[in-house]
Amino acid sequence: MSKLYEHQSPYQNIQVWESESRDGSTVRALYLDDDLQFDDNNELAVHEAFLEPLVRYTDLDNKQVLILGGGDGGMARTTLNWFPHAKITQCEIDEKVIEVSKEYFPKLNNDGKVFEDISLHIGDGQQYVYNLIEDNKQDKWSRDIRYDTTILDLTIHPQFDFKSIATISDHVSFFISYKTIEQFDLNTFSLFEDYRAEPVNIKGYHNDSIIFCAGKFK
């Protein structure tokens, strides 16, 4: 296994590693702060796992979808593959992740073209939501901006404010890693009218499993 790239951005350490598989092909993997995000073999399973539980609640075609994180472009690409008419807004805090993913993982973002098919904002996702809530309060004469679904393609930290997501979105999809599960606030699930939380087996992660959750807010 060899390191192809490393960079310390203002937000995180970014690494790209490459290894050789049994059939002789090369496999690249993205790590943020030494935490595996995906590799060439499992990235599609990761991104589809966000969408599979959502179809119980909503069809994203012709709907407004907000993606927080997902700077590699794979979440937007997969959403558009499943729902070609989804109207996607994405907020990614680290522009360097986008740059690195275009160079080292072009299949995830269709050689960068997926970012041209969505509305892309560079900034903190939580702050983006807070700003949207405040803008909706201030603009009394027009219709509030609201999303059908918010997809949190980022590691859920204990301080993430799900109540704010419920203010601007009808549905949400996110994952809980086994590194953060002990810190996750289980009271979050009381915000949902209905939800699903299931471990999904994906090779390369701790216990080869991640808990993917999706739900409809009350």
Q: Mind telling me the catalytic residues?
A: 153
Whole-number Å distance between alpha carbons of 155 and 54: 18
* Residue ranges with strand state E in 70-145: 87-92, 119-122
Tokens of 138: 């201030």
Answer for the pair 33, 14: CB distance below 8 angstroms, yes or no. Answer: no
Contacts of residue 77, defined as CB under 8 A and 6 or more positions apart, other chains included, come to 47, 108, 109, 110, 114
The Cα 119–Cα 90 span in angstroms is 6
Residues 7, 14 contacting (CB under 8 angstroms) = yes
- Return all residues near 75 (Cβ < 8 A) that are at least 6 apart: 47, 50, 67, 69, 90, 151, 153
Angstrom CA distances, 89 to 83, 145, 152, 199, stand at: 14, 12, 12, 27
Cβ 67 vs Cβ 153: under 8 Å = yes
Q: Give one DSSP letter per residue of 52-76, joined into a string.
A: TTGGGT---TTSEEEEEE-TTSHHH
Structure tokens at 172: 């949400």
